[in-house]
Amino acid sequence: MTTHLIEQLRAAVQARQAAEKAELAAIIKALTPGSGIQQKAVVEATGYSREHIRRIARDHGIGPAKTDQ
């Protein structure tokens, strides 16, 4: 029983980590110049603050002028 619960917990952690990676990839794709998606839309879709979205953009080499279009 305990082993099964630990395996279940590990699987849940792995699923969460995979979902976080997929979310970050989607955010970066949306913030990339030419995507046609405004930063405001990313904020609304994710529930993250504008500042958090700006940090993600900066950390991935996407300048502020390009994300505020």
Confidence of residue 69 (pLDDT cuts 50, 70, 90): very low
Among candidate residues 27, 39, 33, the one with its CA nearest the CA of residue 66: 33
C-alpha neighbours within 13 Å on the C-beta side of residue 30: 20
pLDDT at residue 65 in the model:
54
What distance in Å separates the CA atoms of residue 33 and residue 65, rounded to the nearest whole number?
A: 10
In a domain, 53, yes or no: yes
Domain boundaries, position 30: 24-69
pLDDT at residue 38 in the model:
95
Q: How many domains does the chain have?
A: 1
- Residue 67 in this model has a pLDDT that exceeds 50: no
In a domain, 3, yes or no: no
In a domain, 57, yes or no: yes
In a domain, 9, yes or no: no
In a domain, 5, yes or no: no
Per-residue model confidence as pLDDT tens digits over 8-35: 999 999 999 999 999 999 999 999 999 9
In a domain, 64, yes or no: yes
Per-residue model confidence as pLDDT tens digits over 32-52: 999 999 999 999 999 999 999
